C-alpha cells in the first residue's frame, strides 16, 4: 500500500483552510493575538468559483488545528480539536476534523466513533460518510490476515459510502480523491485517474490528488503524464512524500538511477515506514548491482508490509542470481503462507523447483496456477516443461496413460481453448502430445514471429527429438540477446530443459559481460556437472545391461538421458534394453523406436550402412508393435 496523505478535511474543512490562509496572508491582528484557549467566533462568507458558497461561524481554535493538519501534525491537531469539542460538543467542524486527525494517525476505531456520532444526529452527513470511507480504506494498511482475506469486501464497503457521500455533495474533492484511491487499489486505474482529475478540477491546489493521479498514470504506463502530475504535486507541496516516491519510480523506469535514488531518499526522509518506497529503493540498488543494499531494502519493505509479494520475488531474483535456488524457494514459501492464493508466487516456486529438479513440486505449483487461472499461458508452458522432464526420467511407459499426465494435458488443452491464437500455447500442446507418441506436424502451426515463440517452437522440436531444427531456433534467440541478463535468461532456460549445447553456448556468451561473468561460471559448471553425471550413469547402465540386469539398466539409461538428452549411446542402448524386456509390450517397443530415432538424429555422422541397419530395425519394431497392439486389444 502506498503512503498517501489522504482526505484533507472534506468540503467544510477545505474552505476553513482557505479562510485561515487568507487570515495569515493579511496579517490579521485578531487571529495573531488570539490564544488557543480563548475561543471567539467571527462570521465570514467564503466564495470559491469552483466550490459552493459557505456561510458559518469559524472557531479560531479549529482554524489552528486545520493549519496543523495541513502540515501533517495530526497528533497536535487532534489535541486542539478535542479541546474545541470539550467546550462545545456540537461543534461539527471540530468533530469532523478530530475524526480525520485520528484516521490519519490510524486510530481507526476512535475515528469511526467520531463519525458515527455525527451520523447519529445527521444520517445524511456527506462529510462523515466520506470520513468513514477513508477509515475503511485505511484499514487495509493492517497486516492482519482477517483484513487481507476481507480486502475486497472492505473496499466495496468504502466505495459504497464515499459514493453515497458524493451523491449528496458531488463537489467534495477529498471524496473524489478517496474514491480514486479505492479504484486504484481495486486495479481500476482508468477510473481512478478520472476521480483524481475530478478532484484537481474542483481544487487546483490539491497536491495529494495530483500525486494520486501520477500513481494511476504510472500504473497505466503513461510515464510522461505521471512525471507531469508528480511535479505539479511537488510545486504545490514539496512535502508530498508520495509525489517524491512517484517521481523516483518514473526515473527508475527511465533508467535514471541516481535521480531515482535521490527522490526516493527524499520520500523516506519524510516518511521512513513506506513499504513501496523501500521496495523501489531496493529495485534501484539491484539495478546498480548493489545486491546487499537491495536485499536490505526488500527485507525492510517486508517488515513494514509482509503481504507484499513483489519484495519476496525480488529477493528470489537475487538468490537465483547467486545460484541459491533452495534459499529462494524457502523465501517464496514464507510469502505463500501469507498469500496462499497468489498466482505469481506459485508460478515462481514452480519455476524455481524446475531449476533444482523438483519436478513433482513444479507440476503441483503450475497446476495450482492453472486451476485458478486457466488462461495462464506461462503456467501452461511451465507444466509442459515439467512433464517433458519427468517423462524423460520415468522408466515406465505407462506414465502417459497416468491420471497425472492426463489431467495435466486437459489443463493445457483448456488453456489453448481460451487462447486459440496464442502460438506458444499451441506449441506447448503439440509438445505434450508428441511426448505421448502422437505425430504432430509443427509446420502447420505457423512460423515463429518472436523469441518467445521461437523458444516454444524449439521445445516442441526437442520433444520430437529434432535436435538440429531446435538448435536453429535457439540460435536465433541467443543472437537476439544483447545484454548479460538477457543472455543468462536464455542460458538458464536451456539448462532447465537440459539443452546442454545451447546452455553452454549461452553461458559462454554471458561470460563476456562483466555483470554476468560470475553467473556464467556457475552455469558452465552446472552444464559440465550434468554431462559428467550423464556419462557416469550411462557407464553403470551399460555394465548392468551387459550382466543381464535389464530392469536396473533401464532405470540408469533413463537417468542418463534425463541429465543429458543428447547422449546418443544412452539412447541406443536404452532401445536395445526395451526390446529385451519380458513380457514384450507394444508400449515398450514403441519407446524403443523413439530412442533409435533420437539416436539417428544425434548421430548425423553415421555411415550409410549403419543408418540403414538402424532404419531396418525401426521398421521391424513398428511391425512387431502393431501386431502386439492388436493382440493386446483382443484383435
pLDDT tens for residues 337-368?
888 889 999 999 999 998 888 999 999 999 99
Query: Mean pLDDT, to the nearest integer, of 23-45?
Result: 31
Residue 376 reports pLDDT greater than 70: yes
Phi, psi at residue 44, to the nearest 5°? -130, 155
pLDDT at 144: 75
**Could you report the per-residue pLDDT of 414-451, keeping only the tens digit for each?**
888 888 888 888 888 888 787 777 778 888 888 999 99
pLDDT at 104: 82
- What is the four-CA torsion angle of 600, 606, 609, 613, rounded to 10 degrees? -20
Lowest mean pLDDT among 83-92, 139-148, 377-386: 139-148
pLDDT at 305: 87
Percentage, residues of the chain above pLDDT 90 = 47
Residue 106 near residue 138, CB atoms below 8 Å: yes
Contact residues for 163 (Cβ-Cβ < 8 A; gap 6+): 179
Residue 350 near residue 362, CB atoms below 8 Å: yes
Query: Mean pLDDT, to the nearest integer, of 205-232?
Result: 94
pLDDT at 396: 64
pLDDT at 91: 87
Query: Mean pLDDT, to the nearest integer, of 90-116?
Result: 88
Give the residue, 56 or 267, on which the prediction is more confident. Answer: 267
Q: How many CB atoms lie within 10 A of CB 399?
A: 16
Query: Mean pLDDT, to the nearest integer, of 94-105?
Result: 87
Residue 166 near residue 175, CB atoms below 8 Å: yes
Residue 526 reports pLDDT greater than 60: yes
Angle, alpha carbons 606-611-616 (nearest 5°): 165
CA distance 453 to 424: 5
Query: Mean pLDDT, to the nearest integer, of 516-525?
Result: 91
Alpha carbon of residue 332 to chain centroid: 12
pLDDT at 216: 95
Residue 545 reports pLDDT greater than 50: yes
pLDDT at 600: 94
**Which secondary structure element, helix H or strand E, spans residue 405, and what is its range?**
helix 403-418
Residue 40 reports pLDDT greater than 50: no
Angle, alpha carbons 297-187-182 (nearest 5°): 90
Give the residue, 317 or 141, on which the prediction is more confident. Answer: 317
CA distance 81 to 221: 42
Residue 554 reports pLDDT greater than 90: yes
CA distance 611 to 619: 12
Residue 321 reports pLDDT greater than 80: no
Give the position of cell 549411446.
569
pLDDT at 398: 65
pLDDT at 442: 87
pLDDT at 281: 96
What pLDDT band is residue 44 in, cutting at 50, 70 and 90? very low
Q: How many CB atoms lie within 10 A of CB 404?
A: 14
Q: Which residues pair with 43 in a beta bridge?
A: 57
**Could you report the per-residue pLDDT of 272-313, keeping only the tens digit for each?**
889 999 999 999 999 998 999 999 999 999 999 888 899 999
CA distance 428 to 459: 8
**233-250 burial, b if ≥16 CB within 10 A, otherwise e?**
bbebbebbbbbbbbbbbb
Residue 259 reports pLDDT greater than 90: yes
pLDDT at 609: 94
What pLDDT band is residue 410 in, cutting at 50, 70 and 90? confident
Round the average pLDDT of the chain to a whole number and report it.
84
What does the DSSP 8-state code read for residue 367? H
Highest mean predicted confidence (pLDDT) among 32-41, 533-542, 586-595: 533-542
Query: Mean pLDDT, to the nearest integer, of 247-257?
Result: 96
Q: How far is CA 71 from CA 65, 195, 236, 370, 412, in A?
A: 10, 24, 13, 49, 56
pLDDT at 43: 26
Amino acid at each position: 500500500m502506498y503512503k498517501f496523505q489522504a482526505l484533507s478535511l472534506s468540503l467544510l474543512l477545505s474552505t476553513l483552510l482557505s479562510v485561515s490562509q487568507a487570515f495569515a496572508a493579511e496579517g490579521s491582528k485578531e487571529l495573531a493575538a488570539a490564544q488557543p484557549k480563548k475561543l471567539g467566533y467571527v462570521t465570514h462568507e467564503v466564495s470559491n468559483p469552483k466550490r459552493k458558497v459557505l456561510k458559518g461561524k469559524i472557531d479560531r481554535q479549529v482554524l489552528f488545528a486545520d493549519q496543523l493538519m495541513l502540515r501533517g501534525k495530526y497528533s497536535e491537531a487532534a489535541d486542539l480539536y478535542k479541546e474545541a469539542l470539550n467546550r462545545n460538543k456540537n461543534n461539527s467542524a471540530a468533530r469532523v476534523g478530530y475524526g480525520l486527525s485520528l484516521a490519519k494517525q490510524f486510530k481507526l476505531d476512535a475515528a469511526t466513533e467520531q463519525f458515527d456520532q455525527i451520523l447519529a444526529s445527521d444520517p445524511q452527513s456527506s462529510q462523515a460518510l466520506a470520513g468513514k470511507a477513508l477509515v475503511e480504506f485505511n484499514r487495509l494498511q493492517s497486516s492482519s490476515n482477517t483484513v487481507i482475506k476481507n480486502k475486497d469486501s472492505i473496499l466495496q464497503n468504502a466505495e459504497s459510502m464515499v459514493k453515497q457521500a458524493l451523491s449528496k455533495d458531488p463537489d467534495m474533492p477529498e471524496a473524489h480523491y478517496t474514491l480514486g484511491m479505492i479504484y486504484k487499489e481495486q486495479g481500476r486505474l482508468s477510473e481512478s485517474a478520472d476521480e483524481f482529475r475530478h478532484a484537481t478540477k474542483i481544487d487546483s491546489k490539491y497536491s495529494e490528488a495530483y500525486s494520486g493521479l501520477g500513481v494511476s498514470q504510472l500504473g497505466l504506463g503513461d510515464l510522461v503524464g505521471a512525471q507531469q502530475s508528480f511535479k505539479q504535486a511537488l510545486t504545490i507541496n514539496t512535502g508530498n512524500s508520495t509525489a517524491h516516491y512517484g517521481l523516483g519510480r518514473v526515473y527508475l523506469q527511465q533508467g535514471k538511477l541516481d535521480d531515482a535514488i535521490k527522490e526516493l531518499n527524499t520520500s523516506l526522509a519524510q516518511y521512513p515506514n513506506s513499504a513501496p518506497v523501500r521496495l523501489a529503493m531496493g529495485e534501484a540498488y539491484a539495478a546498480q548491482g548493489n545486491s546487499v543494499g537491495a536485499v536490505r531494502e526488500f527485507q525492510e519493505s517486508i517488515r513494514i508490509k509482509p503481504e507484499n509479494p513483489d519484495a519476496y520475488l525480488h529477493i528470489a531474483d537475487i538468490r537465483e542470481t547467486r545460484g541459491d535456488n533452495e534459499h529462494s524457494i524457502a523465501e517464496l514459501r514464507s510469502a505463500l503462507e501469507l498469500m496462499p492464493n497468489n498466482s505469481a508466487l506459485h508460478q515462481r516456486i514452480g519455476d524455481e523447483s524446475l531449476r533444482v529438479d523438483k519436478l513433482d513440486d513444479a507440476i503441483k505449483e503450475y497446476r495450482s496456477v492453472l486451476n485458478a487461472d486457466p488462461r495462464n499461458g506461462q503456467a501452461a508452458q511451465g507444466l509442459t516443461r515439467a512433464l517433458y522432464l519427468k517423462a524423460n526420467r520415468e522408466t515406465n511407459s505407462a506414465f502417459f496413460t497416468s491420471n497425472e499426465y492426463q489431467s495435466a494435458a486437459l489443463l493445457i488443452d483448456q488453456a489453448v481453448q481460451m487462447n486459440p491464437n496464442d502460438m506458444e500455447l499451441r506449441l506447448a500442446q503439440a509438445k505434450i502430445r508428441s511426448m505421448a507418441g502422437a505425430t504432430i506436424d509443427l509446420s502447420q502451426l505457423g512460423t515463429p514471429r518472436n523469441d518467445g515463440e521461437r523458444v516454444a517452437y524449439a521445445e516442441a522440436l526437442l520433444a520430437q527429438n529434432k535436435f538440429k531444427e531446435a538448435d536453429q531456433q535457439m540460435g536465433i534467440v541467443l543472437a537476439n540477446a544483447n545484454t548479460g541478463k538477457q543472455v543468462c535468461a536464455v542460458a538458464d532456460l536451456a539448462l532447465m530443459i537440459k539443452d546442454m549445447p545451447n546452455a553452454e553456448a549461452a553461458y559462454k556468451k554471458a561470460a563476456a559481460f562483466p555483470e554476468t561473468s560470475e553467473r556464467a561460471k556457475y552455469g558452465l559448471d552446472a552444464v559440465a556437472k550434468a554431462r559428467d553425471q550423464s556419462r557416469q550413469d550411462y557407464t553403470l547402465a551399460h555394465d548392468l545391461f551387459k550382466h543381464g540386469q535389464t530392469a536396473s539398466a533401464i532405470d540408469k539409461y533413463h537417468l542418463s538421458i534425463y541429465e543429458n538428452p543428447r547422449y546418443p549411446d544412452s539412447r541406443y542402448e536404452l532401445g536395445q534394453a526395451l526390446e529385451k524386456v519380458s513380457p514384450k509390450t507394444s508400449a515398450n517397443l514403441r519407446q524403443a523406436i523413439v530412442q533409435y530415432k533420437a539416436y539417428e538424429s544425434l548421430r548425423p555422422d553415421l555411415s550409410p550402412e549403419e543408418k540403414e541397419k538402424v532404419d531396418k530395425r525401426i521398421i521391424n519394431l513398428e511391425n512387431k508393435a502393431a501386431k502386439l497392439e492388436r493382440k493386446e486389444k483382443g484383435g
